[in-house]
């Protein structure tokens, strides 16, 4: 366990900095042990709020000014002083954050369903907090929420300390995207580093191949389906997870079951598709299923015959 240092607050600065390049997490396969803060990984847009005496700017992770798109969130973060807050804008759908629902909300111009999970505090009332320990920054962020009675659509991102594997397994059961583990004693660094670790959950399933896109050496993509009762419904396509040799083998297998038309219950228009009888199943890893019923962030792992 890392010993908590007494807070050494930096001297006040004359002016707030501009956009701060965000800290990014390094991918790992298992949650770390030791002195870490573990948070749920949100599936949304990373947003940095610059709040200056009840005026605010919302920056994307690349420094674009999206204040108009997130004006309700900026207005809800009603504090009299200064703060730079790091967090994620999300939409909750069926109990968890859903990126496709967020995209649909932004496309419509609505903000009613937008929520902002604040997980870090980089600046407070003239003080640069980036060299302050992670655990102290979170404590100051929680105090900011409590002091000003901040409420939805702005929310404080809770965390657990210690061994994060239990939280990760719970997140996996609930089909969350995963967790982020942050060293409790680390400063904030504007790059991808191992002070922040992301551990992602993945789902896996077998889906009938209903078509493919040709390329010179084999396939460029597979079209996938799913049986729902007597119906065969479209589940999207996968275009990663194979090398040239595997691509060629898949193509040879699928060439044996080519069909003149799609076998989907509701045909879809895919001009480049070569349709096949659903005799082969693709083993697929994916993050989740979108509100349109399509696989998201899918990757091919193998092919088997029915």
Query: How far is it, in rounded angstroms, from Cα 221 to Cα 192?
Result: 31
Distance CA 60, CA 49 (A): 9
pLDDT recorded at residue 282: 95
Within 10 angstroms of residue 149's Cβ, the number of other Cβ atoms is 7
Burial 155-166 (b: 16+ CB within 10 A, else e): bbbebbeeebbe
CA distance 242 to 213: 14
Report the C-alpha gap between 284 and 227 in whole angstroms. Answer: 15
pLDDT digits (tens, 9 = 90+) for 3-58: 554 544 444 555 899 999 999 999 898 899 899 999 999 989 999 999 999 999 99
Q: Which of 71-75, 170-174, 227-231 has the highest mean pLDDT?
A: 71-75
Q: CB-based contacts of 100: which residues, under 8 Å, 6+ apart? A: 290, 291, 292, 296
Q: Does pLDDT of 253 surpass 90?
A: yes
Euclidean distance between CA atoms 148 and 79, whole angstroms: 7
Q: Indicate the SS3 state at residue 108.
A: helix
Q: How far apart are alpha carbons 244 and 197 in whole angstroms?
A: 32
pLDDT digits (tens, 9 = 90+) for 84-133: 999 999 999 888 888 878 888 998 999 999 999 999 999 999 999 999 99
Q: Which domains does the chain have, with CATH numbers?
A: 24-200 (3.30.470.30), 203-305 (2.40.50.140)
What is the tally of helices (H) and strands (E) in the chain? 5, 21
């Amino acid at each position: 366990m890392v010993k908590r240092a007494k807070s050494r607050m930096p001297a006040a600065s004359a002016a707030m900095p501009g956009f701060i390049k965000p800290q990014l997490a390094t991918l790992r396969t298992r949650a770390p042990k030791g002195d870490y803060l573990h948070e749920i990984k949100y599936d949304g847009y990373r947003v940095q709020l610059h709040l200056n005496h009840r005026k605010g700017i919302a920056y994307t992770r690349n420094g674009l000014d999206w204040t108009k798109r997130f004006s309700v969130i900026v207005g809800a973060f009603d504090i009299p002083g200064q703060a730079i807050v790091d967090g994620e804008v999300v939409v909750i759908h069926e109990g968890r954050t859903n990126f496709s629902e967020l995209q649909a909300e932004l496309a419509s111009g609505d903000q009613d369903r937008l929520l902002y999970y604040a997980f870090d505090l980089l600046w407070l009332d003239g003080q640069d907090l980036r060299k302050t320990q992670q655990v102290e920054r979170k404590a100051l962020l929680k105090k900011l929420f409590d002091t000003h009675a901040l409420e939805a659509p702005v929310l404080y991102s809770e965390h657990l300390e210690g061994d994060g594997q239990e939280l990760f397994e719970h997140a996996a059961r609930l089909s969350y995207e995963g967790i982020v583990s942050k060293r409790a004693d680390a400063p904030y660094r504007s790059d991808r580093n191992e002070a922040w670790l992301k551990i992602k959950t993945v789902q896996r399933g077998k889906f009938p191949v209903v078509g493919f896109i040709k390329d010179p050496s084999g396939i460029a993509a597979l079209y996938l389906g799913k049986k729902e009762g007597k119906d065969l419904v479209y589940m999207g396509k996968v275009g990663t997870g194979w090398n040239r040799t595997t691509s060629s083998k898949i193509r040879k297998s699928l060439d044996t079951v080519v069909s003149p038309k799609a076998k989907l219950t509701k045909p879809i228009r895919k001009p480049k598709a070569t349709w096949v009888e659903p005799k082969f199943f693709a083993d697929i890893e994916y993050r989740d299923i979108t509100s349109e019923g399509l696989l998201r962030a899918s990757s091919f792992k193998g092919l088997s015959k029915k």
